[in-house]
Every structure is written in structure tokens, then in C-alpha cells.
Amino acid sequence: MPRSGKAARERSDRIYEIQLSAGIGVPSGQACLRQIRCRCAGRKENTVSMYELIQLSQRSCYIQSPAKIGLVRLEDPEVCLIDSGSDKDAGRRVRQHLDANGWRLTAIYNTHSNADHIGGNKYLQGQTGCRIYAPGIECAFTRHPVLEPSFLYGGYPCKEMRHKFLMAQESDALELTAECLPEGLESIPLPGHFFDMVGFRTEDGVVYLADCLSSRETLDKYQIGFLYDVAAYLETLERVKAMEAKWFVPAHAEVSEDVSALAQYNIDKVLEIAEKITGICQGPLCFEAILQRLFSAYGLTMNFQQYVLVGSTIRSYLAWLKDGGRLEALFEDNMLLWRRK
């Protein structure tokens, strides 16, 4: 049955809330309107509304969106994007900016393949013929988006997992290499949150950080941010902490001139969760029991999305804790159990 626009929007807000709790989604509501300083536009304080185009320096801009979309001006009238938003609607809003400014989109550079970052790819490629580039394994996921829910679930995903919030439409992505990048745009490896995630640095000093950082509000409210590789994530955060730039643009946190304190806050949260898991595993416990206790401890509500997003993340923590010698794995009565060492 067709949904009314309002009902669809309400449903969409609710699902974003669910995704947010695992760090993939984004704050809706009040976060859509928030204060940032925009020096280059000559504004000290400004309220940014959804899909507004914000210029940060001469060539580097972003479009406010549930997952911020970077826009870099190349040789006039050409521009490229860093990610494409969560869906076709985001793609349409991007296109309005292209049309209004007489810009020609040459390429979309995807930071990683989560659905909220590649969701506008197909529409924009269809409309503009732009090329799409994604790094390493992210390119395979972008070309074959069923890999995302399949990976998260660890098998064939049932239909509750095969919707646009976990599975974007496929797009014709090419492997991102240094040669594909326009002059003045540099990719920065940022693995951890997802397999081969990258960020980008522009020559006028803006660093797009993709999903390295969750905001304090998100972490305080939802606690367990999605990640794939704990060790790589912590190393990435240490590098981010030491980075310098005119502006940092994290996809799901506030644009800032200094992200070192927020990077440390994210590191501390990872270490806290690891501590919590080892605390839970006093006696041998199976994955499902560990996950249940974490949901109870953090006041989270279980459903298919939470199960796969938080569940996949906790499996990664268990592997990291085992490989680091803090947990051991036992097979008892044909069950895989985890126990503190």
C-alpha cells in the first residue's frame, strides 16, 4: 500500500533513530538545526537547516544531511562529492544545488559503503553520468549492496534487513586509487568503523572524516557505536586526534576546528565497552547472552536492526578481546562460549 508522505517521513525518522543507536545513522529533529560557525561565509553563528549548502573554505563545502555530504569545487564549473547521502531524496537535493549553481558533477568519492553514505549514488549517476569511486572492499559493497546486511547478519538476511537503511541500491563504482583523485584532493585511510573507510583532505585545509567520530550526544544516548575492527578503529582515532586542519567534517558530528577531545571521548567509550564485556564474561557465556546483558546494561531495545548492528559490533569486540588475551573461547555442549581470562 502506498504510504502518505507524512507517514513515510515519520517512519523514516523512527528508523534513523534506530540506526543512530548503533552509530550508523544520525540524529534527527534538533540535530537538523544546529549552530556552527562558518568563518568563510562571514557568519559567526548560523543555524544550518537540512540539505543547506555550507561553504567552509574557498573550494570546500558540505551539504547538511543525516550523513554530511562533502562538495569540493574543482575547475569551474566542475565539482565532486564526498559521499551522496542516504537515499534518492538526498540525491535530488544535491542535484538542486548543482542546478542552482550551474555546477557539473564529475565524480562521487565514497568514504565507505554504509547505506547512508552511498544511497544517493544511483540517482546522481543516472542523472549526471558522474563516475563513482570507493576504496578497496567498500567498492565491492557499493557494487553489491546486499553484502552489507549479509555481512552484518552473517548469513542470508531476512527481509527486515533488506531495506534501504541497511541496503542501498547498487551503483557502478570503480576502485578508488590515487590516480582517480583530482588535483588537490587527497585520501586518508581511516579503517576501523568499516573495512577500508577513507577520509579526504582538500588543499584548502578541510578534512572530511566520514564515520570516525560519533558525537558526545550520540555516544551518551546510544552507547555502542558501530564498528568493524576494534584495533584498527583505535589506531585510526589516535591518528585523527593528532591531525590538524582548518575544519574537520565528521559525517555524524559537529563541524569543528579541533576534534582531538572528541576523538579521545570516542576512544574512552570503546575502552569502556571492552571493560563492560570482560566484566560480563565472568563465567562462560554464549554470544546471545552477552548481547542480552549489554542491551540491558545500556537500556537498548532489541529488534532486527539493533541485533545486526550492535551484534556485529560485539562479535568484533569479542574477537579483539580474545586475540588480545583478555577473553578465552571455549566449545562446550556444542556452544561457543566466552570467558574472562
User: Could you give the CA distance from residue 248 to residue 241 in angstroms, rounded to a whole number?
Assistant: 11
Q: Please calculate the CA angle 311-302-210 and round it to the nearest 5 degrees.
A: 50
Question: Which strand (E) or helix (H) includes residue 62?
Answer: strand 60-63
Nearest approach, Cβ of 190 to Zn ion (angstroms)? Answer: 12
3-class DSSP state of 229: coil
Measured from the CB atom, is 211 or 229 closer to Zn ion? 211
Chosen residue from 87, 116, 229, 254 binding Zn ion by CB under 5 A: 116
Measured from the CB atom, is 253 or 285 closer to Zn ion? 253
Stretch that binds Zn ion, among 62-70, 139-147, 166-174, 312-320 (CB under 5 A): 62-70
Stretch that binds Zn ion, among 11-19, 63-71, 99-107, 310-318 (CB under 5 A): 63-71
Question: Which strand (E) or helix (H) includes residue 53?
Answer: strand 53-55
Under a CB-based contact definition with an 8 Å cutoff, are residues 217 and 119 in contact? Answer: no
Nearest approach, Cβ of 220 to Zn ion (angstroms)? Answer: 18
Stretch that binds Zn ion, among 4-12, 203-211, 227-235, 312-320 (CB under 5 A): 203-211
3-class DSSP state of 52: coil
Which three cell numbers mark 252? 555524524
Please tell me whether residue 83 binds Zn ion under the rule CB under 5 A: no
Stretch that binds Zn ion, among 107-115, 125-133, 176-184, 275-283 (CB under 5 A): 107-115
Please tell me whether residue 67 binds Zn ion under the rule CB under 5 A: yes
Please name the residue that has the C-alpha cell 550523513: 67
Nearest approach, Cβ of 114 to Zn ion (angstroms)? Answer: 5
User: Could you give the CA distance from residue 289 to residue 273 in angstroms, rounded to a whole number?
Assistant: 16
User: Could you give the CA distance from residue 162 to residue 234 in angstroms, rounded to a whole number?
Assistant: 30
Stretch that binds Zn ion, among 90-98, 210-218, 226-234, 272-280 (CB under 5 A): 210-218
Measured from the CB atom, is 73 or 85 closer to Zn ion? 85
Measured from the CB atom, is 116 or 196 closer to Zn ion? 116
Measured from the CB atom, is 68 or 93 closer to Zn ion? 68
Judged by CB under 5 A, the chain residues 1 through 30 that form the site for Zn ion are none
Q: How many residues bind Zn ion (CB under 5 A)?
A: 4
Nearest approach, Cβ of 164 to Zn ion (angstroms)? Answer: 14
Q: What is the dihedral of CA 136, 87, 104, 73, to 10 degrees?
A: -70
| Residue span 156-185 as binding mask against Zn ion, x where in contact by CB under 5 A, dash where not | ------------------------------
First to last CA, the chain: 54
Buried b (16+ CB within 10 A) or exposed e, 160-195: ebbebbbbbbebebeebeeeebeeebebbebbbbbb
Please tell me whether residue 87 binds Zn ion under the rule CB under 5 A: no
- The closest alpha carbon to 118, from 193, 77, 172, 192, belongs to 172
Nearest approach, Cβ of 36 to Zn ion (angstroms)? Answer: 19
Stretch that binds Zn ion, among 66-74, 129-137, 262-270, 299-307 (CB under 5 A): 66-74
In order, the DSSP letters of 204-228 are: TSEEEEETS---HHHHHHH-----S
Residues 3-11: contacts with CB under 8 Å, at least 24 apart: none
Residue 337: count other Cβ atoms within 10 Å of its Cβ. 18
Please tell me whether residue 138 binds Zn ion under the rule CB under 5 A: no
Please tell me whether residue 211 binds Zn ion under the rule CB under 5 A: yes
Stretch that binds Zn ion, among 94-102, 208-216, 239-247, 289-297 (CB under 5 A): 208-216
Measured from the CB atom, is 113 or 114 closer to Zn ion? 114
Measured from the CB atom, is 157 or 225 closer to Zn ion? 225
Nearest approach, Cβ of 331 to Zn ion (angstroms)? Answer: 36
- Residues at the contact surface with Zn ion, assessed by CB under 5 A: 67, 114, 116, 211
